[in-house]
Amino acid sequence: MTTRKSWAPYLFLTPAVTLFALFLALPIGYTVYLSLRRTKVSGLGLGKGSKREIFVGLDNYAAAIGDGDLWTGWLRVLGYGVLVLVVMLGLALVFALMLDAARVRLARFSRIAIFLPFAVPGVAASLMWGFLYLPSVSPISELFGVAPLSQSAVVYSMANVAVWGGTGFNMLVLYTNLGAVPQDLYQAARIDGASELQIALRVKIPILAPAIILVTVFSIIATIQVFTEPTALRPLTNTISSTWSPLMKIYRDAFVTGDLYSAAATAAVIAGISLVLSFGFLRVVKNRAFGET
Amino acid sequence: MHMNRLAAVAAAVTLVAGCSSGGAQQSAAPSSSAAQNAQNAQKVALTYWNWVPGMDKVVAVWNTAHPDIQVTSSTQAGGDDSATKFLTAAKAGNPPDLVQAEYQALPSFVAAEAVADIKTAADPVKAQFSEGIWGLVTLGTDAVYGIPQDSGPMLLYYREDLFKKYGIAVPKTWQEYADAARAVHAKDSKVYLGTFSSKDPGSFAGLAQQAGGQWWSISGEAWKVAINDEPSKKLADYWGGLVKEGVIDNMPYFTPEWNKALNDGKLLTWPSAIWAPGPLSTNAPKAKGKWAIAQLPQWNAGENFSGFWGGSAVSVSAGSKNKEAAAKFATWLNSDPEALALLVKEGSVYPAATKGADLLSEPPAYFSNIPDFWKQAAGFGAGARGFTFGPNVNVAYNAFKDAFDKAALNKTSFSGALQSVQDATVADMTKSGFKLAQ
């Protein structure tokens, strides 16, 4: 009995630990290893053995952090992220509350209609919007005041694609959470004379706080990793550079200019920043939302 | 060739998305050769990465005739990322046996020791290729790093009907081209003689070759980088001036907008390569039979120069276990009359082998209005001169896109943009440790 007790937990842990080691720890470790190396060429670099891999310490990190492109990319993504977060989560919350209101017509249809864009793959959505944005092929170009892919408008056009695609999912998370709230709470509020609007503001939103925080953290991580939309729109316009977002820079370094080592270092830097941002946000709001001290 | 850039991007994006979520479904194809080897010792199985349409049909003919060397053609997306994909596979130790190598990518393959020297197999067919083309696979060394497959000499495509309508003559010099651009745009502000594409460094490089540029060269044991040499600067400022003046459009090639402009007759010319009938027929079907071809406008009247845009060779992986068999196939594919005929018919390839030109008797369907299309085109492209490509063309081309995107958009100096391409290229080579001549 006692011997069994000692190995049983490890046995049960094995699948999880193996998967974690193989598919998470190992790739991360390899990325960090690569980020400390680089190839060194001698002479023309054409003969045998003229190229070798050397250890360079933190050189790649210094280059990544010192690269202005990365930080202008971050600034762009920051502006884009604030825009997307506010509009997308705001809309998701409003839609969820509206669908959850006592009297609402066509609830099923509206729910599906709002959720459906989430089912469209990001590349398809970006290309579809891209075609709508291009003046000469767009059936609705007159609706936009300015050219949507011009330098001043391109961030908004891209945010629009993300909001269009992401609102439905966040709405559904919030809406499902609302469904789990016991109806007694609302009845009590109604007996106290609260209107539907007051119930929404004073009862539902506070109850939803943990779910709102959850979708915010997910959305922060998703916007930091913005890649699909700008990459799919890039061939259509002159306004999106190959380093528009930090992730695009990694892609460019690794797969266009063939410098895996710099890409690995930049990836590590971005992972660090994402961690700080998401956990930072959690720390700031945790106490208030969960009543923890 | 860049026929389907959107599809390539879509593929790249889904590829990245796929890698980040799983990473396990990568490259199942190339390892099959080793497995089959073990099964049957005499039988050789080769994998071949390429993006030639209909290659499987050409390969099938080889496979029937050579039961002992079985080739599997694996279709790749092509475009900018294809070279890096091959280099990554080579580094990871599971490259395909054969690979389609664009001429500008070949030096980086050689520098990475990813392709093999196939001099022994290649020497017997050397005479079938022009010296300029052969230089692209030897890089000026004694080795041979691939068998040339196709080439892309440049010529001028123009709308014959609309040239008549706007009353302009076919420009013989770039000066005349600029004048015609002004004349056309003055007559109809929605119509342009052409567009400058900041997304196509290959096209610009071809025009730079025509102008006499030498972006890379080897002097002794060092590389010389001169992307900002005088001919190229002259070329950049020429287009920059026209874009700034507003008489040439600045939309990139191969976009939905560009397709529409071609289709609707809003763009009257396209300085392009000999493979242009392919993209034109898919992108501008409405304009079928309305185009004609001419020599590229010249910098000095009376000259007869052109450049190359695109073209590729078939190379053998350094990591292949069956280099000899692979080289045999590559040689057959690009020099055997039957294979060349199939490449022309199924893949719309413009063969690099000189005898390939005789196979092109029927004009492409899109150009049925010009019965001797191939003869004319070959004549206009005969004066094409190339230059040596360096080991980091990918870096230069990427810098080109970013710098010229900005310059075309803000209408700032194009030679300034060219300077930043030069700087980025030199900085990358310095960082990697290449020896540079001053």
Phi, psi of A8 (to 5 degrees): -55, -50
How many helices (H) and strands (E) are present in chain B, helices listed first? 19, 9
- For residue B376, tell me if it sits in a domain: no
Burial (CB < 10 A; 0-12, 13-18, 19+), residue A191, is exposed
B69 plus B177 within the same structural domain = no
B215 plus B282 within the same structural domain = yes
Helices (H), B72-166: 80-92, 106-111, 119-122, 131-138, 160-166
- Put simply, whether A127 touches B (Cβ < 8 Å) is yes
Q: Which residues contact A36 (CB under 8 A, 6 or more apart)?
A: A55, A56, A57, A58, A60
Q: How far apart are CA B113 and CA B107, in angstroms?
A: 10
List B residues 214-253 in contact with A (Cβ-Cβ < 8 A): 218, 221-223, 250, 252
Which 3-state string (H, E, C) describes B13-48? HHHHHHHHHCCCCCCCCCCHHHHHHHHCCCCEEEEE
* Among A41, A134, A252, beta carbon nearest to B398: A252
* Among B141, B261, B398, beta carbon nearest to A136: B261
List A residues 17-56 in contact with B (Cβ-Cβ < 8 A): 23, 27, 39-46, 48, 50-51
B179 plus B210 within the same structural domain = yes
Asked if residues A246 and A77 have their Cβ atoms less than 8 Å apart, the reply is yes
> On the CB side of B125, how many CA atoms lie within 13 Å of its CA?
27
The minimum CA-CA distance between A289 and chain B, rounded to whole Å, is 31
Tell if the CB–CB gap between B435 and A42 is shorter than 8 Å. yes
A-interface mutation test, from B2, B5, B13, B243, most A Cβ less than 10 A away: B13
B65 plus B137 within the same structural domain = yes
Residue A73: per-residue pLDDT: 94
B316 plus B299 within the same structural domain = no
The minimum CA-CA distance between A69 and chain B, rounded to whole Å, is 11
B233 plus B92 within the same structural domain = no
Q: Domain range for residue B394? A: 153-308+387-432
Residue B155: per-residue pLDDT: 96
Tell if the CB–CB gap between A136 and B255 is shorter than 8 Å. no
Read off the CATH number of the domain in which B216 is found: 3.40.190.10
- For residue B356, tell me if it sits in a domain: yes
pLDDT in tens, B11-66: 444 444 434 433 333 344 444 444 444 444 578 999 999 998 889 999 999 999 99
List B residues 380-409 in contact with A (Cβ-Cβ < 8 A): 391-392, 394-395, 398, 401-402, 405-406, 408-409
Q: Point out the domain boundary residue: B338, B370, B402.
A: B370
Buried b (16+ CB within 10 A) or exposed e, A113-139: ebbebbeeebbebbbebbebbbebbbe
Q: How far apart are CA B266 and CA B251, in angstroms?
A: 12
Q: How far apart are CA B192 and CA B249, in angstroms?
A: 6
Q: Where are the beta strands (DSSP E) in B209-323?
A: 216-219, 222-225, 269-273, 291-294, 308-316
B293 plus B427 within the same structural domain = yes
Q: Which residues contact B57 (CB under 8 A, 6 or more apart)?
A: B342, B346
Tell if the CB–CB gap between B401 and A42 is shorter than 8 Å. no
Q: How many CB atoms lie within 10 A of CB B379?
A: 14
- Put simply, whether B6 touches A (Cβ < 8 Å) is yes
B272 plus B325 within the same structural domain = no
The minimum CA-CA distance between A71 and chain B, rounded to whole Å, is 16
Give B389's contacts in chain A (Cβ within 8 Å): none
- For residue B91, tell me if it sits in a domain: yes
- For residue B375, tell me if it sits in a domain: no
Q: How many CB atoms lie within 10 A of CB B309?
A: 26
Q: How far apart are CA B77 and CA B96, in angstroms?
A: 15
List B residues 77-106 in contact with A (Cβ-Cβ < 8 A): 80-81, 83-85, 87-88
State how many domains chain B has: 2
Please report the sign of the dihedral spanned by the C-alpha atoms of residue B329, residue A50, residue B205, residue B133: negative
- Put simply, whether A231 touches B (Cβ < 8 Å) is yes
Q: Point out the domain boundary residue: B318, B345, B370.
A: B370
- For residue B15, tell me if it sits in a domain: no
Question: Residue ranges of chain B with pLDDT lower than 50?
Answer: 1-4, 8-40
Tell if the CB–CB gap between B402 and A241 is shorter than 8 Å. yes
Tell if the CB–CB gap between B398 and A257 is shorter than 8 Å. yes
B40 plus B90 within the same structural domain = yes
Q: How many CB atoms lie within 10 A of CB B421?
A: 27
Asked if residues B179 and B247 have their Cβ atoms less than 8 Å apart, the reply is no
Report the chain A residue with the minimal C-alpha distance to residue B407. Answer: A238
- For residue B17, tell me if it sits in a domain: no
Asked if residues B429 and B391 have their Cβ atoms less than 8 Å apart, the reply is yes
Asked if residues A85 and A278 have their Cβ atoms less than 8 Å apart, the reply is no
Query: pLDDT 10s per residue in chain A (293 long)?
Result: 555 568 888 899 999 999 999 999 999 999 999 999 998 888 888 777 777 889 999 999 999 999 999 999 999 999 999 999 999 999 999 999 999 886 778 888 988 999 999 999 999 999 999 999 988 888 887 777 788 888 889 999 999 999 999 999 999 999 999 988 888 999 999 999 998 889 889 999 999 998 999 899 999 989 989 999 999 999 888 899 999 999 999 999 988 888 889 999 999 999 999 889 888 888 888 776 665 54
- For residue B67, tell me if it sits in a domain: yes
B47 plus B96 within the same structural domain = yes
- For residue B258, tell me if it sits in a domain: yes
* Among B81, B111, B141, beta carbon nearest to A41: B111
- Put simply, whether B12 touches A (Cβ < 8 Å) is yes
Token pair listed for B434: 């290449």
B103 plus B120 within the same structural domain = yes
- Put simply, whether B257 touches A (Cβ < 8 Å) is yes
Say which amino acid occupies A21.
Answer: A
Q: How far apart are CA A85 and CA A78, in angstroms?
A: 10
B-interface mutation test, from A151, A152, A257, most B Cβ less than 10 A away: A257
Give A231's contacts in chain B (Cβ within 8 Å): 9, 12-13
Chain mean position to CA A58: 28
Residue A35: per-residue pLDDT: 95
Q: How far apart are CA B98 and CA B100, in angstroms?
A: 7
